[in-house]
Amino acid sequence: MKKYGALDRFRLIAALLVVSVHTSPLAGVSPIADFVLTRAVARLAVPFFMTVTGFFVLPELLYGDGKNCGRLAASLKKTGLIYLISVILYLPLGLYAGHYNGITPLKALKMLIFDGAFYHLWYLPAVMLGLSLIWLLSRFMRPGAIFAAAIFLYIVGLGGDSYYGLITLTPLGGIYGAIFAFSSYTRIFMAPLFLMMGAAAAKMKTVKKPLPLFVDLFAAMTAEALVLRSLDVQRHDSMYIFLPPCLWFLFQLLLGMDVKPLPCLRSASMVIYIVHPAAIVAVRLAAELTGLETLLVENALVHYLAVCALSGIAAVIWLLAEKRPDPPGRSRIELDAGALAHNVEALRERLPDGCLLMPVVKADAYGHGAVPISKELNRLGIRAFAVATVEEGARLRRGGIRGDILILGYTPPRQIGLVRRYRLIQTVTDLDYARELNALGRKVRVHLAVDTGMNRLGERADSENIFEMFGLKHLKIEGVFTHLCADDRPETKFADFTAGQTERFARLCDELEKRKIKVKKHILNSYGLFRYPEIGGDYARVGIALYGVLSDGPTTAELAADLKPVLTFRADIAQVKTVLPGENVGYGLGFTAERVMEVAVVAAGYADGVPRALSGRGEVLIKGRRAPMVGLICMDQFMVDVTGMDVRAGDSAVIIGSDGEERITACELADKCGTVANEIFSRLGSRPERRIVRGGKNWEKGFCDTDRA
Ligand SMILES: *Cc1c(COP(=O)(O)O)cnc(C)c1O
């Protein structure tokens, strides 16, 4: 966390440097001072922003497994949006300044894609082009090769920028004519290199003692700039040979600084970057209107400071208006992104060859929150999901989840329109149902459920009806699956039953092969993957294990040993009171005190998902210690005994999760209530808000995403 603090601060400096490029604050001091500031120091700013983007966006694409491009897509979307807003913002100014005189559609396109629609905005399309190029290359090149390609592009860029005068002396000069037909400058060629440098910085150990190297390289770069200037060979002056190495050590210097993050500077620097040209116009206008031109415009330093101040005011207004996540409610569920990633990794290691994870996120991801959990899974490269109902599938799509979504349960034929609209895959239960869907006359993607002994959904594995369904022309049958129902227990009786199920399914699969029917086949659930991974299949439909537990504690604790619970369910303590001997607590005179007690009222009840069956047996964790529940659990509160524990209103109680050394698992609750963890989870109410937390921090301290359920 800490290493980003200096990056945050330098963002602000970089934004102010960009302003200096457009205002030349030292022009009044000396031309050389102005040149060094705006053509050397300030030339670090834009490459710095690009490196930061690469640092945060590219590692998961280049070094993560599954070439996941979730962050890249999000970054493209965000940059595109900022660009769009800026283009619209500067449209009137551009018109006024005559930027669009004699414009043709082709010129407009060139301006929009390569030049940046307003002169300083080129950075935004350059980053988008650079990211897209790297994404494209990552399909078939290793990071090292992409880096080499980026260096090559940088050299091409140099030739059209500060070394152009030298290039025109060689036969290569003509090539640049062609480049300039597309883009007025070659500075966009710098984006891939700086983006890749960011990715490399994230992957590598930080360099020790980068300061002297940075200083030397900066001196070399300044000398390079001055020499090129005296030779008068520059066509533009934003790229130097010494710029990338110089920036590398600057970046290392910043990464090595141990300062607190200041996230507000991220948007502040972006706002300054976007609005400062408007601020320049405003300052000039104000000077004209007040007759203060000598002070506000002709004095370059004052002019610069006025523009910075005005842009700064815009940034402050933006920050004040920016939407912050609402403060956490009285009962809440934290989802540990690290634990989820750990479980996905642990489960992937168990997958047999050729088998993919199909996380089961039915029942609101077992009460965890289907949208935040699935978003996180998308980021981890997951591309197939299973739900139980069409509404659950639709909710994922509306939440922006990508990939296949299989509905495992029954959907009435009257709702098939929804299955199609949300690009879902429906399970077919039997031939009659299949015919009904087919009769609707619209293509539907489906998997066939096959019954191998559970006697739940599906045609029997040996039924001819299965093959008849393949003849229905509106059904696009993409898969066949069955469900194991006795794989959770190790005893022989259960193992034999599972072997029977597996054999019946395998026979069906053989028969399909014989008839040259190619479909996906899947059978494993959580226990199946743990106990019988050799069964294989194209997917493992893993539910409960993904959330870091198995259904019940005693028989399976050892299987789940390498999983981490994802969920923490906690609630505030509303009030603490003293109860005297002989007094009662809660409904129905359910508890009578025998001694003087301190009782805390916890602000969650069975409507929040605290099972009423826990009354008198459950415990919560407060300040790392167990406190027993007393009396009957109410709809909105329950009471715990905190005698001698120094508990106050406003403290929080953990109902499921860990606190210090202590942990209460969903399995512990399940055992006390005579059920399975699956039921405890899936009955968590809609009242507690769900949020993803990262880096082991907790929600109270504000380290959380704005992703919500
Ligand atoms: C719920 C369900 C699963 C997931 O089961 P877990 O035991 O939670 O892994 C898999 N397949 C089907 C058909 C299901 O209904």
Indicate the helix (H) or strand (E) that contains 220: helix 211-231
- Distance from the alpha carbon of residue 541 to the mean position of ligand 1, in angstroms: 6
On whether residue 314 sits in a domain, the answer given is no
Ligand 1 nearest-atom number relative to CA 457: 13
- Distance from the alpha carbon of residue 159 to the mean position of ligand 1, in angstroms: 60
- Distance from the alpha carbon of residue 540 to the mean position of ligand 1, in angstroms: 9
- Amino acid found at 480: V
Looking at the structure, tell me whether residues 177 and 78 fall in a common domain.
yes
For the residues 110-118, what does the mean pLDDT come to? 78
Lowest-pLDDT range of 250-264, 367-381, 394-408, 448-462: 250-264
Q: What is the pLDDT of residue 99?
A: 75
Ligand 1 nearest-atom number relative to CA 408: 13
Within 10 A of 617 (CB to CB), how many other CB atoms are there? Answer: 13
Ligand 1 nearest-atom number relative to CA 546: 9
Final residue belonging to a domain, choices 213, 242, 262: 262
Q: Is the CB of 525 under 6 A from ligand 1?
A: yes
- What residues have CB less than 8 Å from 524, skipping those under 6 apart? 355, 484, 532, 533, 535, 536, 537, 539, 540, 541, 542
Ligand 1 nearest-atom number relative to CA 409: 15
Of the candidates 401, 353, 394, the residue with the CA atom closest to the CA atom of residue 377: 401
Predicted confidence band of residue 92 (pLDDT cuts 50, 70, 90): confident
Indicate the helix (H) or strand (E) that contains 443: none
Q: Is the CB of 408 under 6 A from ligand 1?
A: yes
CATH number for the domain harbouring residue 474: 3.20.20.10
Q: What is the pLDDT of residue 169?
A: 87
Task: Give, in order, the Cα–Cα distances in Å from 525 to each of 271, 488, 566, 672.
Answer: 49, 10, 19, 25
| 8 Å CB contact between 480 and 512 | yes
For the residues 235-256, what does the mean pLDDT come to? 95
Looking at the structure, tell me whether residues 57 and 149 fall in a common domain.
yes
- What residues have CB less than 8 Å from 251, skipping those under 6 apart? 48, 51, 55, 197, 198, 201
On whether residue 289 sits in a domain, the answer given is no
For the residues 665-693, what does the mean pLDDT come to? 94
Looking at the structure, tell me whether residues 573 and 695 fall in a common domain.
yes
Instruction: Express as a percent the part of the chain with pLDDT over 70.
Output: 96
Final residue belonging to a domain, choices 236, 262, 288: 262
Looking at the structure, tell me whether residues 591 and 552 fall in a common domain.
no
- pLDDT above 70: residue 704: no
Final residue belonging to a domain, choices 529, 559, 589: 559
Catalytic, 547? Answer no
Looking at the structure, tell me whether residues 571 and 669 fall in a common domain.
yes
Q: What is the pLDDT of residue 322?
A: 79
Backbone angles phi, psi at 522, to 5 degrees: -150, 150
Token pair belonging to 188: 């966009």
Number of domains in the chain: 3
CATH number for the domain harbouring residue 686: 2.40.37.10
For the residues 137-164, what does the mean pLDDT come to? 94
Q: What is the pLDDT of residue 554?
A: 65
CA dist., res. 559 & res. 33, Å (int): 68
CA dist., res. 272 & res. 672, Å (int): 58
For the residues 592-619, what does the mean pLDDT come to? 97
- pLDDT above 90: residue 658: yes
On whether residue 25 sits in a domain, the answer given is no
- pLDDT above 70: residue 702: no
Predicted confidence band of residue 555 (pLDDT cuts 50, 70, 90): low
Q: What is the pLDDT of residue 359?
A: 97
CA dist., res. 240 & res. 78, Å (int): 29
Token pair belonging to 562: 């390498």
- Distance from the alpha carbon of residue 361 to the mean position of ligand 1, in angstroms: 9
| 8 Å CB contact between 686 and 667 | no
Catalytic residue among 164, 362, 366, 520: 362
Q: What is the pLDDT of residue 708?
A: 33
- pLDDT above 50: residue 709: no
Q: What is the pLDDT of residue 385?
A: 97
On whether residue 344 sits in a domain, the answer given is yes
Backbone angles phi, psi at 335, to 5 degrees: -110, 120
- Highest mean pLDDT among 83-87, 191-195, 560-564 belongs to 191-195
Q: What is the pLDDT of residue 698?
A: 56
Q: Identify any residues that bridge with 601 across adjacent strands, giving them in sequence order.
A: 575, 639
Q: What is the pLDDT of residue 337?
A: 92
Looking at the structure, tell me whether residues 441 and 494 fall in a common domain.
yes
Looking at the structure, tell me whether residues 111 and 42 fall in a common domain.
yes
CA dist., res. 572 & res. 144, Å (int): 51
Token pair belonging to 652: 């929080």
Looking at the structure, tell me whether residues 534 and 669 fall in a common domain.
no
On whether residue 252 sits in a domain, the answer given is yes
Q: Is the CB of 541 under 6 A from ligand 1?
A: yes
Of the candidates 582, 544, 579, the residue with the CA atom closest to the CA atom of residue 565: 544
Looking at the structure, tell me whether residues 549 and 571 fall in a common domain.
no
Q: Which residue's entry shows tokens 């403060």? A: 327
Q: Identify any residues that bridge with 405 across adjacent strands, giving them in sequence order.
A: 385
**pLDDT tens-place string over residues 18-71:** 999 999 999 989 999 999 999 999 999 999 999 999 999 998 889 865 566 778
Predicted confidence band of residue 146 (pLDDT cuts 50, 70, 90): very high
- Pairing label, strands 404-407, 425-428: parallel
In 3-state terms the chain splits into helix, strand, coil percentages (rounded to 5) of 55, 15, 30
On whether residue 476 sits in a domain, the answer given is yes
- Distance from the alpha carbon of residue 213 to the mean position of ligand 1, in angstroms: 57
| 8 Å CB contact between 525 and 543 | yes
Buried b (16+ CB within 10 A) or exposed e, 501-540: bbebbbebbeebeeeeeeebbbbbbbbbbbbbeebbbbbb
Q: Mean pLDDT across the chain, nearest whole number? A: 91
Domain of 392 in residue numbering reads as: 331-559
Catalytic, 518? Answer no
C-alpha count within 13 angstroms, C-beta hemisphere, residue 701:
7
**Residue having the nearest C-alpha atom to atom 6 of ligand 1:** 543
Token pair belonging to 144: 């090292």
Q: Is the CB of 542 under 6 A from ligand 1?
A: yes
Ligand 1 nearest-atom number relative to CA 366: 8
- Distance from the alpha carbon of residue 542 to the mean position of ligand 1, in angstroms: 6
- Amino acid found at 511: E
For the residues 611-630, what does the mean pLDDT come to? 96
- Amino acid found at 191: A
Of the candidates 123, 147, 127, the residue with the CA atom closest to the CA atom of residue 62: 147
Can you spell out the DSSP letters for 611-623? -GGGTTT-EEEET
Predicted confidence band of residue 706 (pLDDT cuts 50, 70, 90): very low
Q: What is the pLDDT of residue 51?
A: 97
Q: Is the CB of 544 under 6 A from ligand 1?
A: yes
For the residues 462-489, what does the mean pLDDT come to? 95
Q: Which residue's entry shows tokens 């990552």? A: 138
Q: Which residue's entry shows tokens 């053989």? A: 510
Predicted confidence band of residue 131 (pLDDT cuts 50, 70, 90): very high
Predicted confidence band of residue 696 (pLDDT cuts 50, 70, 90): low
Within 10 A of 327 (CB to CB), how many other CB atoms are there? Answer: 8
Q: What is the pLDDT of residue 294?
A: 87
- pLDDT above 90: residue 542: yes
Looking at the structure, tell me whether residues 553 and 571 fall in a common domain.
no
| 8 Å CB contact between 467 and 435 | no
- pLDDT above 90: residue 665: yes
Looking at the structure, tell me whether residues 171 and 155 fall in a common domain.
yes
Count the residues in the chain: 709
On whether residue 63 sits in a domain, the answer given is yes
Looking at the structure, tell me whether residues 586 and 509 fall in a common domain.
no
On whether residue 286 sits in a domain, the answer given is no
